[in-house]
Structure 1
Amino acid sequence: MVIAGGRSHVGRDRPKLPEDGEGPRRQMRLSPYRIETVPVTNARFAAFVRETGYVSLAERFGWGPVFRPFLANPESVKPSATATPWWGRGDGAAWFQPEGPGSSVADRADHPVVHIAWDDARAFAAWAGGRLPTEAEWETAARGTLTDPVFVWGDEPPSPDAPPCNIFVGRFPYGSARKPPYRGTTPVGSYSPNSIGLFDMAGNVWEWVADAFHVRSLSRAAKARNALAAQANEKVMKGGSFLCHESYCDRYRISARSGVAADSGASNTGMRIVYDA
């Protein structure tokens, strides 16, 4: 999909989560670019690995964060000590076995690849002849032909029972109303596209962009957050994932963003590639 470029913007003047740096709205001018219509799939990442022998960061670390209900034996894994106890350490978890040994992507070739760190995403993008989008490019593509919508489909909040994208349905975090095989990721393109034909710009998996995470504010809290982000080498992720829910991670909105250490990946972290036009 070709995006013509020209005048655009990033962020909102009335951000829902200002502490995330969702605002203020900033005007900018973009050069033309092409963006892939779906996130990178397991099949494409497998082809990259076969051709290059690439070893992902999760493989090198020997583990990755996994949504605890998806672990083979979640009760044997201590909950995360952070404010997100629904995550657990998945020893051996990586892109080809997202829930650890015994899991596989053999029946998920058309699902988005996960456990992708920022460097993994950049390595794949270079192999594909592209790059990661900037945050402004990502938001511009997500809005499509709409002027300034809250969501990729418009301003109406998603139905809690039948949302228009792959986000958490039920009582977060352990009361999922979804049934196997699609309690986690879904095949790319399973939901309706946005106004210019891009799929999964909301939900399914978080998508890395090129930007370093930074909150544009002079407040003391913002300065402290920026210092931590710089220390951890945090980059921006966009779009939310299958674990987003209005009661916790209400970040499937276009302006929403998350700052995550560049060497981190999880069972809901993927990517989308752009190309200079």
Structure 2
Amino acid sequence: MRLTGKNSSSVIAICAVAIVAVIAACNQSGGKVAARTDSIPKGDTIMSCTSNLPSRFAAATSTDSIVANGKSSYVGMVKIPGGDFQMGAADKEGRPDEYPQHAVHVDGFYMDATEVTNAQFMEFVKATHYLTTAERTPDWVELQKQLPPGTPKPADSLLVAASLVFTPPVHAVALNDVSQWWQWVKGADWKHPEGPGSNLKGKENYPVVQVSWDDAMAYAKWAGKRLPTEAEWEWAARAGLANQTYTWGNEPVEKGQPKANIWQGHFPDRNTVADGFARVAPVKSFAANAYGLYDVAGNVWEWCSDWYRSDYYAQVAAKKLENPTGPAASYDPDEPTVPKRVVRGGSFLCHASYCASYRVSARMKTSPDTGLEHTGFRCVKQ
């Protein structure tokens, strides 16, 4: 979930308890689902693959004890030149939070050519003995200190070390209820991305997943790097192309050779695996963009440093931005009480009927203490 003992307000806490109760009731109701709609919603609706996730209480994490390893280098990174661009969607395919386009300048920087891999994250964990959010059991005694007096203790099933695992349904379902394909799984974490029965054997070169924003920040601090801003991420993904839909240009993703690890078939119950991968793919499985970056479309979502606001672009459109770092606070109208950070790039679950977020301007949002099977990160450095 979205409640961390250190940083959440009492209002969020109250709402969290209410959300848990509502979701539990809904899951037990056995109600009918609405008919499937095979089109991307327009207008004021934003189809989000990370909003209204099944809830639980998450343990707090901190980077206070993490120190840089002193070995930071540019190995495995590519130089991204500075420049000016129009940030946001240039066509009619975007969601409302991708408009309006606005002028942005970013200075040059270096960026990891790939998403951080399991092998790289393992090195960090061995050096620091860091425990990720998903590996920490929430402490009710500590949580109570942050909640209003008399707040009832949630079910023990919500106070466990767990993370979100993709569990495809066996038949078509409504696309407005992500609990149909996401489940909190006890024992799921970065070492067991699909649950206790999974492991990383032979997957050293796969992107690390099931890491929260807090975990990504901890790794970046240790590596002497940082997470990219949303503007840096989009500038790098565009790779010098102006007003193009994808990191490779305007050619449709399904045309020609596979270009990215996405969902093919009927989401979320049938994947034809035409691109060769049913879930996460090893890094560098597809061609790099013009800047030498791999998998900035599909495979796994990537954490950015910015807070998410649905109306941020409208707020800043009147002037040119210089190295923007995003809004001062988060606001997601879908879940107003839950702070969110930006994630970019889409994942192996993206499909044209659902989120199509392998588009270079596509934005999504996730609470910073949430780990998912399709979310990782890459770092940048000046």
Aligned to 1:214: 309
Q: Which runs of 4+ in 1 moved over 6 A?
A: none
Residues 111/198 of structure 1: CA separation in 2 closer, same or farther (3 Å cut): same
**Unmatched runs of 5 consecutive residues or more in structure 1:** 219-223
Aligned to 2:109: 33
Conserved 8 A contact 2:310-2:333: no
Secondary structure at the aligned position of 2:366 is classed as strand
- Greater strand content: 1
Aligned to 1:100: 195
Query: How far apart in 1 are the matches of 2:90 and 2:271?
Result: 34
Q: Deviations over 1:78-99 (max 9, x none)?
A: x9xx711111221110000001
1:185-264 matches, within 5 Å, as 185-216=280-311, 217=314, 226=332, 231-264=337-370
Aligned to 2:269: 174
Aligned to 2:248: 153
Query: How far apart in 2 are the matches of 1:248 and 1:227?
Result: 19
Deviation at 1:211, TM superposition (A): 0.9
Deviation at 1:173, TM superposition (A): 0.8
Query: How far apart in 2 are the matches of 1:126 and 1:148?
Result: 33
Conserved 8 A contact 1:165-1:203: yes
Aligned to 1:221: none
Residues 230/29 of structure 1: CA separation in 2 closer, same or farther (3 Å cut): farther
Indicate which of 95, 99, 119 corresponds to 1:18: 95
Residue 51, structure 1, aligned to residue 127, structure 2: yes
Query: How far apart in 2 are the matches of 1:86 and 1:196?
Result: 35
Conserved 8 A contact 2:88-2:100: yes
Indicate which of 185, 198, 209 corresponds to 1:90: 185
Secondary structure at the aligned position of 1:231 is classed as coil
Secondary structure at the aligned position of 1:137 is classed as helix
Deviation at 1:18, TM superposition (A): 3.2
Aligned to 2:379: 273
Query: How far apart in 1 are the matches of 2:232 and 2:308?
Result: 15
Question: What one-letter code is carried by the residue in structure 2 that aligns with 1:67?
Answer: F
Q: Deviations over 1:207-237 (max 9, x none)?
A: 000111112258xxxxx96456663110100
Aligned to 2:80: 3
Conserved 8 A contact 2:95-2:362: no
* Bigger Cα displacement from structure 2, 199-208 vs 164-173: 164-173
What is the TM-score normalised by the length of structure 1?
A: 0.87
The alignment covers a number of residue pairs equal to 263
Aligned to 1:131: 226
* Bigger Cα displacement from structure 2, 225-234 vs 41-50: 225-234
Deviation at 1:101, TM superposition (A): 0.9
**Rg larger in 1 or in 2?**
2
Residue 143, structure 1, aligned to residue 238, structure 2: yes
Residues 127/229 of structure 1: CA separation in 2 closer, same or farther (3 Å cut): farther
* Bigger Cα displacement from structure 2, 232-241 vs 3-12: 3-12
Conserved 8 A contact 1:15-1:22: no
Aligned to 2:143: none
**Unmatched runs of 5 consecutive residues or more in structure 2:** 1-77, 138-160, 316-329
Residues 16/182 of structure 1: CA separation in 2 closer, same or farther (3 Å cut): closer
Residues 268/160 of structure 1: CA separation in 2 closer, same or farther (3 Å cut): farther
Residues 243/18 of structure 1: CA separation in 2 closer, same or farther (3 Å cut): closer
Query: How far apart in 2 are the matches of 1:15 and 1:119?
Result: 34
Residue 67, structure 1, aligned to residue 67, structure 2: no
Identical counterparts, % of pairs: 40
Q: Deviations over 1:115-158 (max 9, x none)?
A: 11111111111111110101110011111132221001111211
Query: How far apart in 2 are the matches of 1:270 and 1:171?
Result: 24
Conserved 8 A contact 1:214-1:229: no
Deviation at 1:182, TM superposition (A): 3.5
Conserved 8 A contact 1:34-1:275: yes
Aligned to 2:24: none
Aligned to 2:70: none
